Amino acid sequence: MKLASKKDIEAPLSAVWAAIADHEAWERSAMRRGVEVERTDTQTRPGPGMAWVARFSFRGKARKASLTMTEMVEPSLLGFLLISDSIELVSRVELIEMSARRTRIHVATEIKPRSLGARLFLQSLRLARSKVDQKFDARVGQLALELETRARAATGARSAPRH
């Protein structure tokens, strides 16, 4: 199942990149949401090969997933591979400079089942495709808003009202 969405962020590309590439901040954010995150690679510099193991509860069951950064092209692209017992998820986050103060984020994700249960679950999602697309689009919108907030905080810019 493929999902994609794009949103505009009122912040310069460099500030958005700094916010999205701050892996330690994302680890802390996941931990605040109840996810146990453990870094499993030994890299000293950010880049492809960075890896984490996450333990969390989903649909009332304890789950475990490994996440690996597959691509990193500064300042425009991050790629990830998430593997769990039941799914494999490939995701690319692309940043496009629209103007000096505006950046577009494009998130594309493909989910593949690794078990019969996951195949059935994804089939049920396909039947509710429009609702799934709306939820994915809303989540990317939340991500864009969070990145905009982080970018503004980092640059010390005042929040401008949204119209």
pLDDT, tens digit, 9 for 90 and up, residues 46-70: 899 999 999 999 888 899 999 999 9
State both tokens at 102: 């505006």
For the segment 146-162, the average pLDDT, to the nearest whole number, is: 73
What are the DSSP E strand ranges found in 43-101? Answer: 51-58, 61-73, 77-84, 87-99
Residue 159 lies in a domain: no
Which CATH number belongs to the domain containing residue 101 in this structure? 3.30.530.20
Residue 163 lies in a domain: no
Residue 103 lies in a domain: yes
Q: Is residue 157 very low, low, confident or very high in pLDDT (cuts 50, 70, 90)?
A: low
Looking at residue 151, what is its pLDDT? 86
Residue 62 lies in a domain: yes
Number of domains, the chain: 1
By DSSP bridging, strand 102-113 and strand 61-73 are unpaired
Residue 108 lies in a domain: yes
In this model, does residue 160 exceed pLDDT 70? no
The answer to whether the Cα torsion of 146, 16, 155, 11 is positive or negative is: negative
Residue 61 CB-density burial (10 A; 0-12 exposed, 13-18 middle, 19+ buried): exposed
Looking at residue 163, what is its pLDDT? 42
